Amino acid sequence: MSEKDLDSQFKEAFEIASNMEQDSLPQDIMLRLYAFYKQAEFGNIGSINYAANDVVDAFKLNAWMQVSHLSEDEAKKAYIDLIEEITRKK
């Protein structure tokens, strides 16, 4: 798969995810999508400013850290695969 194809598929998957009702997805799936997206778009976590007492931000940061071993392209592919899995189940 060429990089352009991957980028196009990633954008399409993001559009699908953006149009989903957030309440329809379990929190763990939403965190995985968030983490794959952040890794795909920004790479490894640099310095992050978040409120230490904000549990949601802590979960997001932890999810992103768990996928930090992936390259940006691997994260895009994982994001695409997860969206495909979700849409097959519906």
The pTM of this model reads: 0.85
State yes or no: pLDDT of 42 exceeds 80: yes
Of the two residues 86 and 55, the one the predictor is more confident about is 86
Of 23-37, 46-60, 66-80, give the lowest mean pLDDT range.
46-60
Which of 73, 18, 72 minimizes the C-alpha distance to 42? 72
Neighbours of 60 (CB within 10 A): 18
φ, ψ of residue 67 to 5 degrees: the values are: -110, 10
State yes or no: pLDDT of 29 exceeds 90: yes
Q: How far apart are CA 19 and CA 82, in angstroms?
A: 15
Which numeric CATH code is attached to 3-89?
A: 1.20.80.10
Determine the 3-state secondary structure of 88 from DSSP.
Answer: helix
Average pLDDT over residues 59-85: 95
